């Protein structure tokens, strides 16, 4: 008992620096096994899990009995001596001298056995405590840090774009409508138009925040609320845009490999596949992508349509790195994409398809910078000119070539973690049929 008052509180991930010392851990009981005169308490504290060994001869009878009766996920504080042990996955155990029950847990619904997806999703608030979900969310946090660091360290200014937007700007995509006092407002599907304006003010900018799509999509690649980072650069053309996207994705992968290797191992990710993500990435045109599909047996793949999930998978399996596909038919791309001066049917856009069938993680390109061309494109797309007057001003007052792209955070996390479905890549996913917890 006396040791509790004096032992320093440390976190499991720092335990290696305290070999032989008496420390206190504050956390929750992850699992427990008992063997007569021994209780093995698996204690997690948010940074890791450590086995705490309670030997009957080392503690008071009261503490031994208490330790044997603690239920899964009860809040506990454990004091003991840090001991090196080769049997431990983290290399250390705690030889317990005292245990304090902070608060007991009621019967915990998530047991160490298998569970169905629906059940786990209903208990997402508790599921986050399990080691696999813990690893995913820490990797997500690392990816987000890598994203911010990359742009902050390379001369970009953060520009927060609005969540409420006045119009259903870009046509085909379904937006969430909200009541905005006397008017309608929509949740943003992209900050892109706003970062274009900001690029003319700051040169290189990026926005980073949630985006919303009301599509009735029920696939492993779709969420209704997801996070997107969108850099936009003045005086950049398509080739420079692709160079940046490539360098950016390499940086993210390297940071995860450097700082979150243990979490990748929890997920049993094939790390060699991530180590292979080095510049340069293959770059093919839309035309070449069509040829790959036709050669792979899809002989009747038509020219002029966007690729579905299956087609992206076939293309990505030809390469062991992300592949950049550029110059799609202008007709299937957004109005603001600049048309290829060498072929009016093509847009100067680029999609990056992740390896291993994870699909599109980046979409972007060079923007139309000619006022007259943009005006005629608005007409062809049947979009209201007056709603875009501020956007047209960017072309009116000192228009320059500029380019950018958007990277979907959840698809990137799914790829790097090797997950089947994006619903595990965000703490509280929002799907077509799921709004809680």
Secondary structure (3-state) at 306: coil
Task: Give the whole-angstrom CA distance, residue 316 versus residue 103.
Answer: 50
**By CB under 7 A, residue 189 contacts RNA:** yes
Q: How far is the CB of 257 from RNA (least distance, A)?
A: 25
User: Taking the CB of residue 63, how many other CB atoms lie within 10 A of it?
Assistant: 19
**By CB under 7 A, residue 382 contacts RNA:** no
**By CB under 7 A, residue 396 contacts RNA:** no
Residue whose CB is less far from RNA, 5 or 118? 118
Token pair of 424, please? 């595990």
- 8 A C-beta contact, residue 279 and residue 250: yes
Q: How far is the CB of 307 from RNA (least distance, A)?
A: 8
Among 6, 172, 272, 436, binds RNA (CB under 7 A): 172
Among 205, 406, 415, 419, binds RNA (CB under 7 A): 406
Q: How far is the CB of 58 from RNA (least distance, A)?
A: 9
Among 55, 303, 390, 428, binds RNA (CB under 7 A): 55
Task: Give the whole-angstrom CA distance, residue 31 versus residue 13.
Answer: 18
Among 25, 50, 72, 175, binds RNA (CB under 7 A): 72
CA-based radius of gyration for the chain: 26
Q: How far is the CB of 278 from RNA (least distance, A)?
A: 27
**By CB under 7 A, residue 333 contacts RNA:** yes
Binders of RNA among residues 250 to 309 (CB under 7 A) are 306, 308-309
Task: Give the whole-angstrom CA distance, residue 337 versus residue 333.
Answer: 7
293: phi then psi, degrees, rounded to nearest 5: -65, -40
Residue whose CB is less far from RNA, 24 or 192? 192
Strand partners, 408: 228
Q: List Cβ<8 Å contacts ≥24 apart for 253-258.
A: 253/277, 253/416, 255/142, 255/143, 255/145, 255/146, 255/149, 256/139, 256/142, 256/143, 256/146, 256/416
Cα 280–Cα 282–Cα 283 angle in degrees, nearest 5 = 115
Token pair of 297, please? 């047996």
Q: How far is the CB of 421 from RNA (least distance, A)?
A: 5
Contact string (CB under 7 A) for RNA, positions 199-228, x = contact: ------------x-x-xxxxxxxx-----x
Residue whose CB is less far from RNA, 142 or 367? 367
Burial 277-293 (b: 16+ CB within 10 A, else e): beeebeebebeebbebb
Q: How far is the CB of 325 from RNA (least distance, A)?
A: 13
Count of residues in contact with RNA, rule CB under 7 A: 66
**By CB under 7 A, residue 159 contacts RNA:** no
> What kind and span of H or E run contains 54?
strand 49-55
Residue for token pair 């948010």: 46
Residue whose CB is less far from RNA, 275 or 385? 385
Among 14, 37, 261, 345, binds RNA (CB under 7 A): 37
Q: How far is the CB of 380 from RNA (least distance, A)?
A: 13
Choices 14-22, 81-89, 250-258, 286-294 (CB under 7 A): range interacting with RNA: 81-89
Q: How far is the CB of 144 from RNA (least distance, A)?
A: 18
Binders of RNA among residues 88 to 117 (CB under 7 A) are 88-89, 93, 107-109, 111-117
The sign of the torsion formed by the CA atoms of 252, 283, 227, 417 equals negative
- 8 A C-beta contact, residue 190 and residue 405: no
Task: Give the whole-angstrom CA distance, residue 437 versus residue 435.
Answer: 7
Binders of RNA among residues 228 to 247 (CB under 7 A) are 228, 230
Binding residues for RNA (CB under 7 A): 31, 33-38, 40, 51, 53, 55-57, 69, 71-72, 85, 87-89, 93, 107-109, 111-119, 121, 170-174, 189-190, 192, 211, 213, 215-222, 228, 230, 306, 308-310, 333-334, 363, 406, 420-421, 433-434
């Amino acid at each position: 008992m006396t040791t509790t008052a004096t032992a320093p509180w440390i976190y499991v991930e720092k335990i290696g620096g305290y070999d032989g010392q008496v420390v206190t851990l504050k956390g929750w009981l992850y699992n427990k096994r008992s063997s007569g005169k021994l209780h093995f308490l698996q204690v997690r504290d948010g940074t890791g899990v450590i086995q705490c060994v309670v030997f009957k001869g080392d503690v008071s009878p009261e503490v031994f009995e208490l330790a044997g009766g603690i239920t899964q996920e009860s809040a506990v504080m454990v004091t003991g001596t840090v001991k090196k042990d080769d049997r431990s996955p983290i290399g250390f155990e705690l030889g317990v001298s005292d245990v304090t029950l902070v608060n007991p847990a009621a019967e915990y619904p998530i047991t160490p056995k298998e569970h169905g997806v629906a059940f786990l999703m209903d208990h997402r608030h508790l599921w986050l405590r399990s080691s696999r979900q813990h690893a995913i969310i820490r990797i997500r946090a690392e990816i987000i840090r890598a994203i911010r660091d990359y742009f902050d360290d390379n001369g970009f200014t953060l520009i927060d774009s609005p969540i409420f937007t006045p119009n259903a700007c870009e046509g085909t995509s379904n937006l969430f409508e909200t009541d905005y006092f006397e008017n309608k407002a929509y949740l943003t599907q992209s900050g892109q138009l706003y970062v274009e304006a900001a690029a003319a003010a700051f040169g290189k900018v990026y926005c980073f925040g949630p985006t919303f799509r009301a599509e009735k999509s029920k696939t492993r690649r779709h969420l209704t609320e997801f996070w997107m980072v969108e850099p936009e650069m003045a005086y950049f053309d398509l080739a420079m845009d692709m160079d940046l996207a490539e360098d950016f994705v390499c940086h993210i992968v390297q940071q995860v490999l450097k700082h979150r290797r243990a979490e990748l191992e929890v997920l049993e990710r094939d790390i060699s596949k991530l180590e292979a993500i080095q510049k340069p990435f293959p770059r093919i045109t839309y035309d070449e992508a069509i040829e790959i599909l036709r050669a792979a047996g899809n002989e009747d793949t038509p020219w002029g349509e966007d690729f579905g999930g299956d087609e992206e998978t076939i293309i990505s399996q030809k390469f062991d790195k992300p592949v950049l596909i550029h110059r799609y038919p202008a007709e299937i791309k957004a109005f603001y994409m600049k048309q290829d001066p060498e072929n009016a049917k093509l847009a100067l856009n680029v999609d990056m398809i992740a390896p291993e069938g994870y699909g599109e993680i980046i979409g972007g390109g060079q923007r139309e910078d000619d006022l007259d061309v943009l005006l005629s494109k608005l007409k062809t797309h049947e979009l209201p000119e007056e709603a875009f007057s501020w956007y047209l001003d960017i072309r009116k007052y000192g228009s320059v070539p500029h380019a950018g792209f958007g990277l979907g955070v959840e698809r990137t996390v799914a790829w790097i973690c090797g997950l089947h479905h994006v619903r595990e890549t965000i703490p509280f996913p929002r799907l077509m049929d799921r709004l809680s917890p």
